[in-house]
Structure 1
Amino acid sequence: MQWRNQLIKILVILVALSILYYLTGVILTLLIPNLPKSIASTVSQLEPDIKTGIGVIIVAIGGYLVIRLIQQLLSMTLLAKLERGLANIIKFSLDVVFYTILVLAILTALHVNLTGVVVGGAVGGIVIGLAVQTVAQNLLSGVLVTSSRTLSPGDAVSLISWIWGSPIIGEVKKVSLLFTEVLTINGNLVKIPNSAFLGNTVFYKLERTEGGLVYPLQVTVNADVEGVKVMERVKDILKDYLKDENQLPNIVFSSKNGGTNVFTVIINLNNVNNLNDLINIVNKAFDQAYWQIKNGK
């Protein structure tokens, strides 16, 4: 019903403006012979320009009214079913298309040769496209991140990318169309361009359990001491360091890689801001255990 009503309105506007343009031409043609000769001569010479001006006004007004009706129709139907961020981007893109068509229609009514305009527009489009490429990529990524709810404020995350090297670990504070804000465990508020999430970043949420958050930490130790002994000694040391904690880290002997032993430490924490302190304690425990065994203690 909405589609039909809006289409009827658009059709009525187009027909009414076409009739108006025709009538103005007829009136102008009938009016000229009845004017004084001096005025009639001038008006007769300007008749094509007058008709062109009237045509431009009618095209501009009619085009604007039609665009408004189409915008209302899209807002009530298609855009109303989409996420707000995605709907705003689609609406903006369609507005650019609609008003570009309107400008071209006005230029046509002015009898402007559009061949040069198209060539110039193509060159300008390339320049503008290169200029807005990053912004468009950020917007697209922002739409994907927000609409899929991949990241939400309050999520504890670890972001790994070749772009910035060391992982960014912290709590998501805000996800917008251009940037995602993360409060890191070092206390810095980092604004990450959403374009970094498309093919450049591996990100995962810290798993939430009944005991809080879970963070896997890999620790590498020289293999000139027995790995099992290191693991058992670290467990004893952590009991002293973390005696006030409800749950001690779980340690797994992950692999032996050449001259190193690799351990995975599953750290349990209530708040992601405590992660730095816990990583420091675990690393100290491994260092202490290694040298104790190395020195035969």
Structure 2
Amino acid sequence: MQWRNQLIKILIILVVVAIIYFLLKVILKVLITILPTPISTDISTFESEIITGIDIVLIAVGGYLIINIIQKILSMTVLTKLERGVANIIKFSLDVVLYTVLVLAILTALHINLTGVVVGGAVGGIIIGLAVQTVAQNILSGVLVTSSRTLSPGDAVSLISWIWGNPIIGEVRKVSILFTEVLTIYGNLVKIPNSAFLGNTVFQKLERSEGGLVYPLQVSLNADVEGVKVMERAKDILKDYIKDNTQMPQIIFSNKNGGTNVFTVIIRLTNVNELNDLINLVNRAFDQAYWQIKSGK
């Protein structure tokens, strides 16, 4: 495979750099021995500095070549499986890490105390970490969502979160590493950061039943009128609104919470785009039923 050939190139570079380093040190020793005394003395005086210069040049050139090869290996393997935007983010992050290691190696060759550098790097790392935290959460969430197939294109879903307030109801169009795209029942395309799915969002699929979708809707009304009467009147009104019996909602008197009657309406539909109109009909039916009973009609 090509990536194996690239690994062999890295090994060859390391061997060549080691050989060159050894030969240059031998040549330096020989020059000190055979050159006239004044010149050899000067060379001997600066021998450590010359060796340091050789170290820096070999580390810089060898490190640069190895980094390029590592980038090629990643481009041929991991990055090809990711979206372009995500691949660019990962590539940039790895470039920062690799070149930082190269710079630290050069500073070490220069015999520079890296204590201050490490402290500064730690602070910089914290800053960078905070900056990329959201991106990392999105990538992790995207991997979890796509790998577990929790959401797939074509799924009808309801997404509820304190982050955006009102529920997002619609059809999933695309699930990527960073975002999930949902075409809402109102016709707008929403891109939801995948990080919102980790502990911040309750999402449910509109499960299919007998060839159609099922959506539970809660309706709350003041309890100053009898809840059973409101429910029965709402059923009669819905029969006038909805002629297709297969789409007739099932109404359940869920509970009486203090001064509020709560009803659960099981809406059946064939396409998620019908949901907006059906919710409107249900709300209108309950509103009309409530005021009719309250006014004694």
- Give the Cα–Cα distance (whole angstroms) in 2 for the partners of residues 161 and 143 of structure 1: 20
- Give the Cα–Cα distance (whole angstroms) in 1 for the partners of residues 61 and 212 of structure 2: 62
Corresponding residue of 1:178: 178
Q: Give the C-alpha shift of residue 100 in structure 1.
A: 3.4
Corresponding residue of 1:31: 31
Q: Give the C-alpha shift of residue 267 in structure 1.
A: 0.8
180 and 268 in structure 1: CA distance in 2 versus 1, 3 angstrom threshold = same
- Give the Cα–Cα distance (whole angstroms) in 1 for the partners of residues 5 and 115 of structure 2: 37
Find out whether 1:118 has 2:137 as its counterpart.
no
TM-score using structure 2 length: 0.81
TM-superposition CA deviations, 1:231-288 (whole Å, max 9, x none): 2222221111111464211111111222222111111122222211111100111111
39 and 208 in structure 1: CA distance in 2 versus 1, 3 angstrom threshold = farther
- Give the Cα–Cα distance (whole angstroms) in 2 for the partners of residues 128 and 295 of structure 1: 64
The answer (yes or no) to whether the contact 2:59–2:105 under 8 Å persists in 1 is: yes
- Give the Cα–Cα distance (whole angstroms) in 1 for the partners of residues 255 and 14 of structure 2: 75
Corresponding residue of 2:251: 251
* Correspondence list, 1:1-297, <5 A: 13-32=13-32, 34=34, 46-64=46-64, 84=82, 97-244=97-244, 246-297=246-297
83 and 216 in structure 1: CA distance in 2 versus 1, 3 angstrom threshold = farther
Q: Give the C-alpha shift of residue 149 in structure 1.
A: 2.3
18 and 181 in structure 1: CA distance in 2 versus 1, 3 angstrom threshold = same
SS of the counterpart of 2:247? Answer: coil
- What letter matches 1:22 in structure 2? F
- What letter matches 1:114 in structure 2? L
SS of the counterpart of 1:268? Answer: strand
SS of the counterpart of 2:217? Answer: strand
The answer (yes or no) to whether the contact 2:222–2:261 under 8 Å persists in 1 is: yes
The answer (yes or no) to whether the contact 2:3–2:76 under 8 Å persists in 1 is: no
Where structure 1 has 5 or more consecutive residues not aligned to the other structure, the ranges are none
Aligned length: 294
- Give the Cα–Cα distance (whole angstroms) in 1 for the partners of residues 58 and 32 of structure 2: 22
The answer (yes or no) to whether the contact 1:138–1:178 under 8 Å persists in 2 is: yes
Q: Give the C-alpha shift of residue 35 in structure 1.
A: 5.3
Where structure 2 has 5 or more consecutive residues not aligned to the other structure, the ranges are none
186 and 8 in structure 1: CA distance in 2 versus 1, 3 angstrom threshold = closer
Q: Give the C-alpha shift of residue 126 in structure 1.
A: 2.0
- What letter matches 1:109 in structure 2? A
